[in-house]
Structure 1
Amino acid sequence: MQILSPFFREAGAGPGVVCLHSNASSSSQWRGLMDRLAPQFHVLAADSFGAGKSPTWPTDRKVALRDEVALLEPVLALAGDPMVLVGHSYGAAIALVAAIVHPQRVRALALYEPTLFAVLDAETPPPNAADGIRSAVAGAGAALDQGNPSEAARCFIDYWMGAGAWKHTPDARKGPIEGSMVNVRNWARALLTEPTPLAAFAAMRVPVLYMTGKKSPDSSLGVARLLKRTLPDVQVVEFDSLGHMGPVTHPEIVNDAICRFLKSLS
């Protein structure tokens, strides 16, 4: 079996911090945070399957979040134990599963709206708060089937950032986002079928910074509702002016909160 390795960025020296990006993004979204943390931490930011320069999604099996954790193993090894995991959206969901898989290796978690939609379906079968993302993925998938990646990107980006967001996305960013849409059904399947039960997160004995934006969609806020009351050692920060893509649209605000959290651990 071919051994796959992710692309990752690396900076600094000190305790390990691993940063995991959102869907339709890449490790580059963490460059500002890496610059801020590098004087005190060994910071690594990795590309997930099909993102940036990492391997494409395997076609011989249905990839789950634990496969994403396995892909990250070389990065986790370089970070050293125990490490802090920082994640946004899909990356935050991977971070949560990594903490379940490797409980002794994770020191703390800083999460911005993990999109672990499976916990919503486990609580209440559809219709529920995950219906909005299901609809967006269906629309994006239909557009891809018609050979229209731009329309697929519009369905996805406008869901997360509000109607008209794709139209106002800078042209330089549109190409990579359109290219990432080939993975949209894979992302959704991994997040909607993740088998880890909500109760498993009640056993996590690490501090968690859980960040949300008040302007975010019901799906990610629904996941937040469940996880915030389940995680035993959680510090909640809600940003009144931000939405789900806060770490991308307003990185300085989110990075400030992450830096304060990491300082509190020392």
Structure 2
Amino acid sequence: MRYIKLHTNHFGDGQPVICLHSSASTSGQWRTLTDKLADNYHVIAPDLYGYGKSQAWNGGTLMSLDQEAALLEPLFEQQDEPVHLIGHSFGAALAMKAALIYAGKLKSLVVYEPVLFRLLFDSDSTGDAEVEIRRVREAVYHELEDRQPHEAARIFVNYWNGEGSWEKLDARRHSILAGSMRSVLMNFDSLFSDDSNLADYSKIDIPVLYLHGVETRNTTRRITELLAAGLPKLEFCALPGMGHMGPLTHAESVNDLIFNFLKRHDSEKALAKTTREKRNTGAPLSGMGRCLLHEHYTASFAGQESRTRLSSILSN
């Protein structure tokens, strides 16, 4: 797949930051974050495969999540120093996969609700969430088979944004979103078939900011419960009033959290100082939402204490 080259936008100068957008979107999703970061960072924002100005998916062979991550390799190789990696939704899932593959090239990781659906299939406690997301995928698939891409897009948009969201969009947005549904289906299938598990992701040994909208869907809530207890260098933020599309609906608040996290982790010295201060004071790591360092709760996939406490955080 190395012959596929992603269209990539570059902004600003400084330490490199790569931003990965969600499904049915483009690098333009990060415009407001780019504006905030460009004075201090070199922001690298690719259009992922099948979106924007990058090559369209031809509907043939499925591209796996590993192959999608391989398309990012040139972006990492071109940098002279470790990269801050940011992703939302599908882009966040891809960012976590990239963190496994390119571990030595990353300085930190920021994810807003990675849609690692395969984790639901491998867990004994996520039955309803698994059924829910499988139904969404099947509905999109059947509408595309019936040559109804607008209806497929309506189902997808209303699922992630809330009922009635599709109806609020204009005809131009309808057309763009409908045209992206084949790529969305490819994303679904690459996520469903991925073979990385919780034990794999627990090996991510860089600072991670995990952002979660309290008003999100059941599927991403359950994925969050599975992931958040296992990442060893985690800062977890539950954001009230936000759903899965928080980076778009509440861009200013989300961007502030991301910017502050990056600045704290620009150097190992700064990281050590910040961690010591937060341990000593017990203060939250931001003024938005409820943010916890990993050591503030028991991190165990099997531990009832950690599951109960994390569930309480997510529901408040």
TM-score (norm 2): 0.80
Cα-to-partner distance string for 1:71-100 (whole Å, 9 max, x where unaligned) = 122222234431010000000000000010
Residue in 2 that maps onto 1:191: 191
Answer with 181-190 or 85-94: which moved more: 181-190
SS of aligned partner of 2:180: helix
Tell me the CA shift for residue 254 of structure 1. 0.9
Residue in 1 that maps onto 2:154: 154
Residue in 2 that maps onto 1:9: 9
Contact persistence 2:213–2:239 (CA under 8 A)? yes
Aligned partner of 1:173: which letter? R
Answer with 120-129 or 83-92: which moved more: 120-129
Residue in 1 that maps onto 2:257: 257
Residue in 1 that maps onto 2:304: none
- Taking a change above 3 Å as real, the CA distance of residues 259 and 58 of structure 1, as seen in their structure-2 partners, is same
Residue in 2 that maps onto 1:234: 234
For the residues of structure 2 that align with 1:232 and 1:250, how far apart are their CA atoms?
A: 28
Report 1:110-149 matches (<5 A).
Answer: 110-124=110-124, 127-149=127-149
Aligned partner of 2:8: which letter? F
Tell me the CA shift for residue 111 of structure 1. 0.5
Residue in 2 that maps onto 1:168: 168
Residue in 1 that maps onto 2:285: none
For the residues of structure 1 that align with 2:81 and 2:56, how far apart are their CA atoms?
A: 28
For the residues of structure 2 that align with 1:131 and 1:260, how far apart are their CA atoms?
A: 37
Residue in 1 that maps onto 2:308: none
Tell me the CA shift for residue 36 of structure 1. 0.9
Long gaps (5+) in structure 1: none
Tell me the CA shift for residue 141 of structure 1. 1.4
Residue in 1 that maps onto 2:92: 92
Tell me the CA shift for residue 60 of structure 1. 5.2
Report 1:14-25 matches (<5 A).
Answer: 14-25=14-25
For the residues of structure 2 that align with 1:125 and 1:50, how far apart are their CA atoms?
A: 33
- Taking a change above 3 Å as real, the CA distance of residues 39 and 192 of structure 1, as seen in their structure-2 partners, is same
Tell me the CA shift for residue 127 of structure 1. 3.3
Contact persistence 1:153–1:178 (CA under 8 A)? yes
For the residues of structure 1 that align with 2:246 and 2:156, how far apart are their CA atoms?
A: 16
Answer with 74-83 or 137-146: which moved more: 74-83
Answer with 37-46 or 49-58: which moved more: 49-58
Residue in 2 that maps onto 1:216: 216
For the residues of structure 2 that align with 1:15 and 1:137, how far apart are their CA atoms?
A: 38
Cα-to-partner distance string for 1:172-210 (whole Å, 9 max, x where unaligned) = 322211110112321111111111121012121100000
SS of aligned partner of 2:110: strand
For the residues of structure 1 that align with 2:78 and 2:131, how far apart are their CA atoms?
A: 39
Contact persistence 1:228–1:234 (CA under 8 A)? yes
Long gaps (5+) in structure 2: 267-316
Cα-to-partner distance string for 1:102-140 (whole Å, 9 max, x where unaligned) = 110111101000000111111138734132221112112
Q: Do residues 244 (structure 1) and 226 (structure 2) align?
A: no
Answer with 61-70 or 117-126: which moved more: 117-126
Residue in 2 that maps onto 1:44: 44
Answer with 90-99 or 72-81: which moved more: 72-81
Cα-to-partner distance string for 1:47-89 (whole Å, 9 max, x where unaligned) = 1110111112365532111111111222222344310100000
Identical pairs, percent: 37
TM-score (norm 1): 0.95
- Taking a change above 3 Å as real, the CA distance of residues 60 and 138 of structure 1, as seen in their structure-2 partners, is closer
Give the CA RMSD over aligned residues: 1.6
Tell me the CA shift for residue 164 of structure 1. 1.0
SS of aligned partner of 1:23: coil
Contact persistence 1:5–1:72 (CA under 8 A)? no
